[in-house]
Amino acid sequence: MVAQTELSEAEIDRVFHALATSTRRDILRRTIQQEQSVSALAAEYEMSFAAVQKHVAVLEAAHLIVKRAEGRERLVRADPAMIARARALLARYEELWRARVAGLDDLLAEQDRPAGHAQEREQGD
């Protein structure tokens, strides 16, 4: 089976929506470090258990975390595959912006060159 690397537009929307709040980013960070129960996660926040469950559900819908049952507890862990796919997307955006900045740098450097230098270069062609 070939692993999918490109995120669909809907997946991108879900990932960015999931990461849009500090609580969800913190839940993701904590579940990257180790698998935790939803109850243990909820104990760390000044909000209701139901509110934490909703944050977990948003992260789960974005496939950034995986939830599994163990007895009566629901354990949550980060999904490194989806995190890697999201990171790859951000790396592509970074490459695009670096290329645009490099092009702008080249344009500015050319404008800073003395006029005579530009004419000499044109005559050499």
Nearest CA-CA partner of 19 in 81, 97, 82, 94: 82
Task: Please state, in angstroms and rounded to a whole number, the distance separating the CA atoms of residues 79 and 59.
Answer: 10
Q: What is the DSSP letter of 2?
A: P
Taking the C-alpha atoms of residue 77 and residue 31, their distance in angstroms, rounded to an integer, is 5
What is this structure's pTM?
0.74
pLDDT per residue as tens digits for the range 37-85: 999 999 999 999 999 999 999 999 999 999 999 999 999 999 999 999 9
Q: What is the pLDDT of residues 85-120, one digit of tens each?
A: 999 988 988 888 888 888 887 788 888 877 655 555
Cα–Cα distance for residue pair 11/2, rounded to 1 Å: 18
